[in-house]
Structure 1
Amino acid sequence: MSVYSIKDLEHLSGIKAHTIRIWEQRYQLFSPERTPTNIRYYNDDDLKLILSIATLKNQGMKISKIVAMPRDLIQQEVHKISEGDKSEEDQISGLTLAMVDLDESVFSSILNETIELMGFEKAMMNVIYPFMKKIGILWMTNAINPAQEHFITHLVRQKLIAATDKANVNVEGPLYLLFLPEGELHELGLLFANYVLRSRGIRTVFFGQTVPLEALEEVYHKLHPQCIMTALTTAPESIEVQKYVDRLGNKFKDCTIYITGSRVVGQDISISQNMQILNQFEDLFELAPKAHLKA
């Protein structure tokens, strides 16, 4: 079972830690365990309860009414909401609950409903990406079990690949190479970038995880791409990022290089003239207008 700090509960539910503490004292909502240094920590059941409370509050229900309800009735009310029209916050909460329970059926159902309601791209931007961003932070702080992270990554990855396979591209248009550095395993962001490019008719070659620069260089000279795209999230090590970016710019001077990820966004990184940092996914939409498709 995973353990969560009160800040983790705040991060996932949107309810301030101060408010959670007040509710804990006033309504005896939780009985958190404590570390040897007297810091509270919470379990999966506590997380599910606070997510359920957040969902009901988003529907206008008062906290005093919610806490007076038996736990099974709270879950019934949340289930009713899940069967009707849901806000983006409710959809994210539903995905989080399914992740905690490792419930593939519920997770896939919410995912499919969201995509059907919004369309694939909007669902990714407004629900899936914010959800994955929250979960990614918890994963990096060891708040969730790696099995939970792999569970959701696998399901979202399947959706991205299936949607990408449906795209038609201009085979005579510019070519993008997409890859992740050696040691980098978090590919969902780059998979989404691949989808965005191909859905606009742009040719791509997706190399995926942990690609050595020497191997990429060999392919580069064979395919002559106009653009290269990569994401630095957990690799290389922070102290090696500037050196890696410099090598990237020097090896591939004849094309445009787009880089993103927490290792470079908002960091004091120097880039060469042929490089551009994508600070957010919206930047991707601007650089990838629809290509002219051949009949």
Structure 2
Amino acid sequence: MAQYSIRELEHLSGIKAHTIRIWEQRYGILQPKRTETNIRFYDDTDLKNILNISFLNEQGYKISRIAKMSEQAIADEVLTLTQGNIAYPQQLNGLLLAMMEMDEQKFDKLLTTAILQRGLEKTMLDIICPFLVKTGLLWQTGSINPAHEHFISNLIRQKLLVAIDGQVIPEKLTSQRFLLYLPEGELHEIGLLFSNYVIRSRGNHVMYLGQNLPFPDLEICVNFYKPHFICTAFTYMPERDKVQDYINRLACLANEIIVYLAGHQVQFEHLIFPPNIVRITSLPEFIGHIQDVSK
């Protein structure tokens, strides 16, 4: 069983810690437990309950009304409301609950509704990216395991693949050419798939090579495809002490090609980026670059 501090509940639910304490005292909304050293904590049941309460509260339900409902009644009301059109903060909390319960039908319906309402790009930026950040916090607290991560990753991946499949492929010779790949050992593909969608949606041609590509194979593809741009991300690989060497190899391989480089492993201040390597710190920044270079 995972344990959460009140600050972690705040980050996950969007409800201020001060407000949670007031609700506890006035309405008995949550019943925090205590460790042997008398430190307050909350468990998975508390987290699910506060996510549901946050959902209803954002929908206009007064807390005094919610406090009179049982946990099951609250959950049933949330399930009913998720069948309709709801704002993105509620969709975000709904996705978190669906993930924790591994409820594919609920997760798919919420995600599909968001995409229909906002389009794929805004859904990724406004809902999926914050959702993945909160998922990371749940991972840190031990609330979810690799099965949860694979569950949501595959569902999101399916939506991206369907959207990409529906895009028109532009003429290669008359378009800006982008080569997308992940380095050897790197398997986190959702960001790269979304980049593929963004680049194609601006009328550019993409050679998508996916995850876990050895450097010699990259060299062959660069010589064959002759891209104007390369996009990649280092989330976990290469290892930190090998990142600078990999950056230098990329710069030499593609000294006339602009390389957009994202991911956790390239955000350290000590790294040196040659002129043709552009470090990306956020998806909106990346989209801005693509917008600027697209014909």
> 1:29 Cα deviation (Å)?
1.4
Amino acid paired to 2:152: I
Which TM-score applies when normalising by structure 1?
A: 0.88
Over aligned residue pairs, what C-alpha RMSD do you find?
2.5
1:193 aligns to what? 195
> 1:261 Cα deviation (Å)?
1.5
1:98 aligns to what? 98
2:16 aligns to what? 16
> 1:24 Cα deviation (Å)?
4.5
1:3 aligns to what? 2
Note if 1:30 corresponds to 2:9. Answer: no
Which stretch shows the higher mean deviation, 245-254 or 23-32? 23-32
Which TM-score applies when normalising by structure 2?
A: 0.88
Which stretch shows the higher mean deviation, 157-166 or 215-224? 215-224
Residues 37 and 209 (structure 1), Cα distance of their counterparts in 2 relative to 1, 3 Å cut:
farther
Amino acid paired to 1:273: P
Residues 263 and 141 (structure 1), Cα distance of their counterparts in 2 relative to 1, 3 Å cut:
farther
Measured in 2, the distance between the counterparts of 1:267 and 1:259 equals 14
Which stretch shows the higher mean deviation, 202-211 or 149-158? 202-211
> 1:179 Cα deviation (Å)?
1.1
Structure 1: unaligned runs, 5 residues or longer? none
Amino acid paired to 2:196: N
Give 1:250's match in structure 2, choosing from 249, 252, 262: 252
Q: Deviations over 1:160-184 (max 9, x none)?
A: 0110011113222122111112222
2:169 aligns to what? 169
2:124 aligns to what? 124
Instruction: Verify the 8 A CA contact 1:3 1:41 in the aligned structure 2.
Output: no
> 1:240 Cα deviation (Å)?
3.0
Residues 211 and 78 (structure 1), Cα distance of their counterparts in 2 relative to 1, 3 Å cut:
same
Please give the secondary structure, in 2, of the residue aligned with 1:228. Answer: strand
Instruction: Verify the 8 A CA contact 2:179 2:230 in the aligned structure 1.
Output: yes
Please give the secondary structure, in 1, of the residue aligned with 2:54. Answer: helix
Amino acid paired to 1:71: E
> 1:249 Cα deviation (Å)?
1.6
Q: Deviations over 1:134-190 (max 9, x none)?
A: 213433664421111110000000010110011113222122111112222211011
Amino acid paired to 2:52: S
How many residues align structurally?
290
Measured in 2, the distance between the counterparts of 1:141 and 1:242 equals 32
Percent identical pairs in the alignment equals 42
Please give the secondary structure, in 1, of the residue aligned with 2:181. Answer: strand
2:44 aligns to what? 44
Which stretch shows the higher mean deviation, 158-167 or 119-128? 119-128
Which stretch shows the higher mean deviation, 93-102 or 208-217? 208-217
What does residue range 221-240 of structure 1 map to in structure 2 within 5 Å?
221-240=223-242
Structure 2: unaligned runs, 5 residues or longer? none
1:181 aligns to what? 183
Measured in 1, the distance between the counterparts of 2:34 and 2:286 equals 44
Which stretch shows the higher mean deviation, 64-73 or 146-155? 64-73
